[in-house]
Structure 1
Amino acid sequence: MPENAGSRLQGSKYDKILRENMQVVLPGIMEKVFKLDVVKSKELKDKIQITRQKEVDALCMVTDANGGSYILQVEFESGNRPKMNFRMAEYRAMLHQMYDEPVKQYVMYMGKEALNTPCKIDLPGFKYEYELISFFELPYELFLSSDEPGEQVLAVLANFGDKDPFEVLQEVLRKIGKDTPEGVNKYYEQLRIIVQLRKLDKQLEKAMEAVSTFWRKERDVLFKWGKREGIEQGIEKGIEKGIEKGKEEGVHEGQLKKALEIAKEMLVEGEPLERIAKYTKLSIEEIETL
């Protein structure tokens, strides 16, 4: 059964977040999840090119406490991949061909559905296996105890045990806000995306309300994002009405649409009506209808 293209597109959102945080996330995962005693690590090019190019999530040369060196490859997957075993086997063959070093491979599963991704190949003359780990099998405290906010947000993918998801989300929000006063909005935005994998959007909204005294709602990117989305939806309706009105009055649709689109952007950015009117040549009344 071929992988769904929409599923791959959806998964790219989560891949992007992991890639953004990889430098701070990977050391903790190597130690706490993979149980590797790494004392030295050097990032390798994550684009493997032999006859075709393949991009991996994390690739580095590491040295452990016993002096052993090997290549570590880590992949993060948001859904089950029926052919993941062959994909990882292909990676491994390429890595050996390129570097001629021992290789350790791990795939970390972020999805909510039951894990059924194959992690081995058992065919005549072809035996292969890699390490497959589900976030849901790991305690959320493993990630929340980290000093790195990029690692803390991964707590929402782990196992909450007997804890209510609402309480866990509150813990994560407080931890991020306390440890990362600068740039906190970046991690709140990442959290908003990652909770979709666990369908905890509504619980996150409630948790944000509960910790609003700790971190003012007006400064929270989630609140601003929702507010902006609402504004844009309202403006879109206004643009449609404006175009229809323009058609009735014989105004060129293209010119009007361009002016209304510019007015939309300026409204979202909070520009004064007078400035928008001067710039777009629209009347105050037309802009107010947006």
Structure 2
Amino acid sequence: MADKDIVSKETIRRLAVDLATYLLELPIDPHSLEVLPTEHQRVEDRRADLVVKLRDRTGEPFILHIEIQNSNDDAMPIRMLRYMTDILLAHPGLPLQQYLIYIGPEPLTMPDGIEGPGFRYRYGLRDMRSVDCRYLLEKDTPDALVLAILCDFGDREPQVVVNHIYTRLKALLGDDLKRFREYIAMLHILSDNRDLQAEIEEADKMLTQVDLERMPFYEAIMERGVRQGMERGMERGMERGMERGMERGREEGEAALLIRLLNRRFGPLEPEIERKIREASLETLALWGDRVLDAQTPEEVFS
């Protein structure tokens, strides 16, 4: 995106629905979301400010306001209170739900509200340090994968987690370039809140290097696979041969991607390991790819 400060409505829509569904677990109708025209509707460095109109599952409308904070701020309750008054003045008559999502490296010390003489103000508070990223990674959907960038990586190397998110997004959305770009844009936005710009940049480079559909060797693999399939098809039936040729082409492409990931994680692989990868099925390659995230040695990937 040319300007990260101003985010497209579609990106805001996806972020709001995903945060409400996966992290806040709100019972919403995701198709009812309406991005509200407010000057606060932007994503800035180190802070996301989302204000949208939704309906719950009973059809009742409400406004959802989400703040993402990556450091403790003693003034946060006052800021949230200010947002509340601004939003309610701009949209009278609608109930408001506010949530603060904390993603900082230090223990959370911010309160979930403020009290004074004659008043008590509260908002929802979610500490992402308590959310293991595997909770979202194992869902293996594009939306959950993107939000995993906000969670606690534990003892996992940040670059390994980011690379895993990228490669799974590519596998899930590779045929839909428009949606793939939208999710990558969301990753870029959310990574600013986690100071993961360097890891994202490295993953971008990796993805460029292994963008198989645009690389000559991938085209050669596909061509060879189709040709072999056609030759077999002359004997066993053209349709079956073509399908097997295309499948083999995909297998070789996925194998090349896994080999590159393992080389980046563990260094040059033994020839026997490369041979094992290149002979594996698509299902086996996907299983090994998931194991790269937590493996400490190449052997653990294949155990």
Q: Name 1:285's counterpart in structure 2.
A: none
Greater C-alpha Rg: 1
Q: Name 1:85's counterpart in structure 2.
A: 77
Structure 1 position 174, deviation (Å): 0.6
* Pairing 1:175–2:168 present: yes
Answer with 78-87 or 118-127: which moved more. Answer: 78-87
| Counterpart residue identity of residue 45, structure 1 | L
1:136-285 alignment runs, 5 A limit: 136-144=129-137, 145=139, 147-148=141-142, 152-181=145-174, 182-183=177-178, 184=180, 187-188=183-184, 191=187, 194-195=190-191, 197-200=193-196, 214-215=210-211
Percentage of identical aligned residues: 24
Name the CA distance, whole Å, in 1 between partners of 2:130 and 2:6.
23
* Pairing 1:108–2:101 present: yes
CA contact (8 A) 1:61 1:70 kept: yes
Question: How big is each residue's C-alpha offset from its partner over 1:84-140, in whole Å with a ceiling of 9 and x where there is no partner?
Answer: 211221232344444222211112233333333332111111210111223333232
CA contact (8 A) 2:70 2:194 kept: no
CA contact (8 A) 1:70 1:101 kept: yes
* Pairing 1:45–2:36 present: yes
Q: Name 2:258's counterpart in structure 1.
A: none
Q: Secondary structure, in 3 states, of the residue corresponding to 2:32?
A: strand
Q: Name 1:21's counterpart in structure 2.
A: 11
Question: How big is each residue's C-alpha offset from its partner over 1:54-96, in whole Å with a ceiling of 9 and x where there is no partner?
Answer: 5573223332224443222222234333222112212323444
CA RMSD, 1 decimal = 3.7
Q: 1:200 to 1:24 in 2, by over 3 A?
A: closer
Q: 1:27 to 1:191 in 2, by over 3 A?
A: closer
Answer with 169-178 or 134-143: which moved more. Answer: 134-143
Question: How big is each residue's C-alpha offset from its partner over 1:125-180, in whole Å with a ceiling of 9 and x where there is no partner?
Answer: 1210111223333232444436446x533322212245443432221011122223
Name the CA distance, whole Å, in 1 between partners of 2:54 and 2:187.
29
Q: Name 2:55's counterpart in structure 1.
A: 63
Q: Name 2:25's counterpart in structure 1.
A: 35
Name the CA distance, whole Å, in 2 between partners of 1:141 and 1:28.
16
Q: 1:159 to 1:78 in 2, by over 3 A?
A: closer
CA contact (8 A) 1:41 1:60 kept: no
| Counterpart residue identity of residue 211, structure 2 | W
Name the CA distance, whole Å, in 2 between partners of 1:187 and 1:67.
28
| Counterpart residue identity of residue 85, structure 2 | A
Of 117, 125, 131, which residue of structure 1 is paired with 2:118? 125
Name the CA distance, whole Å, in 2 between partners of 1:72 and 1:180.
29
Name the CA distance, whole Å, in 2 between partners of 1:193 and 1:61.
21
Q: 1:104 to 1:122 in 2, by over 3 A?
A: same
Name the CA distance, whole Å, in 2 between partners of 1:88 and 1:41.
25
| TM-score of the aligned structures, taking structure 2 as reference length | 0.52
Q: 1:200 to 1:132 in 2, by over 3 A?
A: same
How many residues are treated as equivalent by the alignment?
201
| Counterpart residue identity of residue 97, structure 2 | K
Q: 1:174 to 1:147 in 2, by over 3 A?
A: same
Name the CA distance, whole Å, in 1 between partners of 2:207 and 2:172.
15
| Counterpart residue identity of residue 61, structure 1 | K
| Counterpart residue identity of residue 153, structure 1 | V
